[in-house]
Amino acid sequence: MALTWFQKIKQGLTKTSSRLADGVAGIFTGKRRLDDDALEELEEVLISADLGPAMAARMVAELAKNKFDKEISDLEVREAFAAHVTSVLEPVAKPIAVDRTRKPHIVLVVGVNGSGKTTTIGKLAKHYSEQGLTVMLAAGDTFRAAAVEQLKVWGERTNCPVIAKETGADAASLAFDAIQQAKEQNVDLLLIDTAGRLHNKTGLMQELQKVVRVIGKQDPDAPHDTIMVLDATTGQNAVQQVSVFGDMVKVTGLVLTKLDGTAKGGVMVALADRFGLPVHCIGVGEQADDLRAFTANDFARGLMGLE
Residues of each annotated binding site? 111-118, 193-197, 257-260
* Residues linked to residue 292 through DSSP beta bridges, in sequence order: 282
Which segments of the chain does DSSP mark as H helices, in order?
A: 5-12, 14-27, 36-48, 53-67, 74-89, 117-130, 145-158, 171-184, 202-218, 237-248, 267-275, 296-303
State the CB neighbour count (10 A cutoff) for residue 80: 18
* Amino acid, res. 133: L
User: Which residue ranges make up the annotated binding site for GTP?
Assistant: 111-118, 193-197, 257-260
- For 137, residues 6+ apart whose C-beta sits below 8 A from its C-beta are 121, 122, 125, 151, 154, 155, 160, 161, 162, 163, 190, 191, 193
Handedness of CA 195, 140, 107, 114 (dihedral sign): negative
Long-range CB contacts for residues 284-287, cutoff 8 Å, separation at least 24: 284/8, 284/9, 284/11, 284/12, 284/13, 284/259, 284/260, 285/8, 285/12, 285/260
User: Cα 96–102–120 angle (5° rounding)?
Assistant: 35
* Amino acid, res. 60: V
| CB-based burial label for 142 (10 Å; 0-12, 13-18, 19+) | buried
